[in-house]
Amino acid sequence: MGYLVMIKKQCEKCVNDSTVKNIKFNENGLCSFCEAYQQIEEKIHDYNYLEKLFISKLHLGEGNYKYDVALGFSGGKDSTYVLYKLVKTYNLKVIAYTLDNGFLTEEAKRKIDSIVKYLNVEHEYVVYDQEILKRIYHRIVGKFLSPCLACSFLGYAAMINYASKVNARVGMHGRSIYQMLRGFDGTNNDIFAPFILNGLKKTSEEELNNFYNSLLEKIGKLVDKKLESEIKKIVLIDSLKNGYREFISYFLYHPYDKDEIINFLEKNTPWRVESEEEHFDCSIHNGALYLKDLIQKRSHLMPEYSVMIREKKLKKEEALNILEKRVPKEKAIPEIKKLARYANLNYNFLMFKAKIYSKRWW
C-alpha cells in the first residue's frame, strides 16, 4: 500500500509555501498573501496621504486629553525610535508604558529607564497579578504552544486599555510593517488585520466600539469564552468605563528601515545594540521561536521575510538562505522549561504536543 506524499508548493514571488496556514495560490502561482498585499500596496506607500491621515488621528475627537499619545514601549529599537520622533519631531505630550509580563529582561529595563530619562518622558511599568497572567499563558500556550500569541492578546488589550486609563487621545505601538503584514491575507483569518484596515482610514467612535467588540468575540471563538471574559473584566476595565481610544501603528504611516533606525538611534540617543538587535526584551524568545519552528518544520519567520520581499527590502534568494538558520536547541530548551514552569505546564507534555502538531501542521 502506497503513501500520499505532500509536496510543498512555494509562491512564485515570496518565500511563503504551503506550510503557511490558510494559504492559497492562484493560477499564476501567486500566494493569497501577495494578492492581499497588492490590494493595499499603493495606499501603504502613499506617504503624503499617510502623513495627513496620521496627523488627523493625532487630533482625533474633541475634548480635553491629558496626553496626546500613550505609547507601548519595549526598549527595543523600533519603539525607542517612535518615542523619539513623537517627542522631538511632532512635539507631542507622550506617556510611555511597558507591560511587564514576567519575561522582561534586565537589558530591556535598563534601556527603557535610560531612554525615558534622556527624553524626559513619563513612563510606567504595567504589572498585572501574576496568577492572572499565568492562567492566560496556561490556556493559550497549552492550546497553541505559542507564548507570542498570549503576549499579543494580552499586550494589545493592555495597550488599548492604557490609553483610556491615562486619558490619552490615541494609543500607539511600534511594530514594524513586516510584523504587521505577516498574516495579512485579505480575510478574517488574521485577527490583527482589522488594525491595519482601520488604520488606513478615518474611523468614527461608533466604528471603534464595533471593532473592539468584534475583536473580543474572535478571541472567545479562537481560545475560549472564559479568556474573553477575563480580558474584558481585568485588562480592558478602563476602556469599558471611559470609552475606547484609537490604537495605531507609527510604521503604518512612515517608512521602515531597520539599519537607518539603528544608525539614527546610535547617533542621537544613548540607545546601543548590546546582546542582539531583535527581541532582546523577551527572556523566552528563543524558546518560543524554537517551538514554532519545530511545529511548522520551517522558520516561523517565513511570512515576515515574505513581506520584506514584497517591500523590496530583500531578494527571494537572500531570504531563503536566511531561513535556513535555526535557533540552537541548547539555547532554546532552558527557555521552554522556564515557560513551562511559569504557565504551570509540563515540559515533556509541551515537547510531545509540538511533535504531534508538527505531523498535523499541513
Asked if 203 and 107 touch (Cβ cutoff 8 Å), the reply is: no
Instruction: Please tell me whether residues 85 and 223 are part of one structural domain.
Output: yes
Instruction: Please tell me whether residues 194 and 297 are part of one structural domain.
Output: no
Q: What per-residue confidence (pLDDT) applies to 289?
A: 93
Instruction: Please tell me whether residues 218 and 305 are part of one structural domain.
Output: no
Instruction: Please tell me whether residues 170 and 205 are part of one structural domain.
Output: yes
Instruction: Please tell me whether residues 136 and 174 are part of one structural domain.
Output: yes
Position with higher pLDDT, 341 vs 222: 341
In 246-346, which ranges are continuous DSSP H helix?
258-268, 285-296, 302-310, 316-322, 329-342
Full domain range(s) for residue 316: 1-40+284-362
Q: What per-residue confidence (pLDDT) applies to 236?
A: 83
Distance CA 18, CA 286 (A): 24
Q: What is the DSSP letter of 99?
A: E
pLDDT digits (tens, 9 = 90+) for 142-159: 888 888 888 887 888 888
Number of domains composing the chain: 2
Instruction: Please tell me whether residues 148 and 296 are part of one structural domain.
Output: no
Instruction: Please tell me whether residues 178 and 301 are part of one structural domain.
Output: no
| 277 within domain boundaries | no
- Going by pLDDT thresholds of 50, 70 and 90, the confidence category of residue 3 is very low
pLDDT digits (tens, 9 = 90+) for 200-242: 988 777 777 787 877 777 766 766 677 667 777 777 888 888 8
Edge to edge, the sheet with strand 168-173 lists: 122-126, 94-99, 67-72, 168-173, 246-249
Among residues 254, 201, 255, which one has the least CA distance to residue 53? Answer: 201
Q: What per-residue confidence (pLDDT) applies to 44?
A: 96
pLDDT digits (tens, 9 = 90+) for 247-283: 999 999 999 999 999 999 999 999 999 877 778 899 9
| 260 within domain boundaries | no
Instruction: Please tell me whether residues 139 and 89 are part of one structural domain.
Output: yes
Instruction: Please tell me whether residues 91 and 222 are part of one structural domain.
Output: yes
Asked if 139 and 228 touch (Cβ cutoff 8 Å), the reply is: no
Asked if 301 and 128 touch (Cβ cutoff 8 Å), the reply is: no
pTM above 0.95, yes or no: no
